[in-house]
Structures are given as structure tokens and as C-alpha cells.
Amino acid sequence: MRVMGLRAERDTVHWALVSGTLSAPVLMAHDRLLAPEDLTERDYLAWFRAKVYALLENVRPDSVAIHLADLEVVAESKLSPKALSAIVKRARIEGVLLEACRPRQARTPPIPTAPAVNGRNSPPSRKHFTSSDGSPVDWREISSTSRRQAILAAAALLEKSAAVVKSV
């Protein structure tokens, strides 16, 4: 089973492709889609949609997990206007991701935020990850928290062995 994990930011979508099982996940690939700075909001949303379509067509995952913002936490927080603007942009991109993944019949369950998928208290543990060449994943080389969240979101949908994890 190959699962793609996605995690949006205000101008970036981090993605990861994970295979294997929940107890032995394999990180196949990971990267980011960074929108050009000179686009209008409508154009950058269309840009992300086109790039995600192309990415899904290229890697052909069996399933997709999107790490969504926890808007209840956001609503309870006292955020600056700049931070609130970034959350709104992220939410719009997440809507594009959800829409782009649906026609591909990919499952896109909302993945809860910490502690469920932050690598501390939930399977799979980061220490169980290997890269496609069989070597252990060096998490120090993956400096972006958002990229790590995309990886762990994808891994959360891997099969335990014979049973499929339905949702987290």
C-alpha cells in the first residue's frame, strides 16, 4: 500500500509518499510544492490544484491523508491578524487539496493534531521508519515540522498488517 501525506502552509504544500505497514513504514519520497510569490490568490489556488493533480498522477498513491489545521484550537487562540491570515490561506489550500484528491478516489480523512500523529505517543514511531534503500530515516535531515507531519499522516493510514486503519 502506498499512501501520500499532505500538509499545507500558507504558500507551501509538503508531501510524502509512504509504503509498508504501520509497524514497518518505508519513506519512499518527500518534497514540497512552493507557490510562486507573484500569483493572485485565485491563481495560487489553481496552481496548487494543478500541481497536486500532476503529483497524484505521477506517484499514484492508493490513499491520501491530509493533515488539516485544528480550527477549534485556532478559534480559541488569540492570534495576531498576520497569523490569522496565514491560517485562512492554509485552510483555503486544504480545501483545494480535499477537492483535488476526491476525484482520484483517494481517502482523505482529517488527521488529528498532536499528540496523535506527532511521533511521540502514537504508532508508528519515527524510529521504525526506513527509507526506500532500507536505511533508517534520519529525521534530523527533515527539518520542516510540516514535512514531518505529512510523513506521519501518511503512515497513520498504512495497514497494520492485514487490517486497514480506517481513520485516526
Q: What are 33-63's pLDDT values in tens digits?
A: 999 999 999 999 999 999 999 999 999 998 8
Number of Cβ within 10 Å of residue 17's Cβ equals 23
Q: Which residue ranges make up each domain of the chain?
A: 2-155
pLDDT over 70 at 124, yes or no: no
Give the pLDDT mean for 105-123: 48
Name the average pLDDT for the chain. 82
Residues constituting the chain? 168
pLDDT over 60 at 86, yes or no: yes
Domain 2-155 has CATH 3.30.420.10: yes
pTM of the model: 0.82
| CA distances for 113 relative to 44, 71, 165, angstroms | 26, 10, 17
**Distance, CA of 73 to CA of 106 (rounded, Å):** 27
- Non-local (6+) Cβ contacts of 8 within 8 A are 14, 66, 69, 90, 93, 94, 97
Contact between 153 and 6 (Cβ < 8 Å): yes
The grid coordinates of residue 89 equal: 490561506
- For residue 123, what is the DSSP state? S
pLDDT over 80 at 167, yes or no: no
- Band the pLDDT of 103: cuts 50, 70, 90: low
Give the pLDDT mean for 83-97: 90
Give the pLDDT mean for 65-85: 80
How far is Cα of residue 89 from the mean position of the Cα atoms in its chain? 16
**Distance, CA of 1 to CA of 4 (rounded, Å):** 10
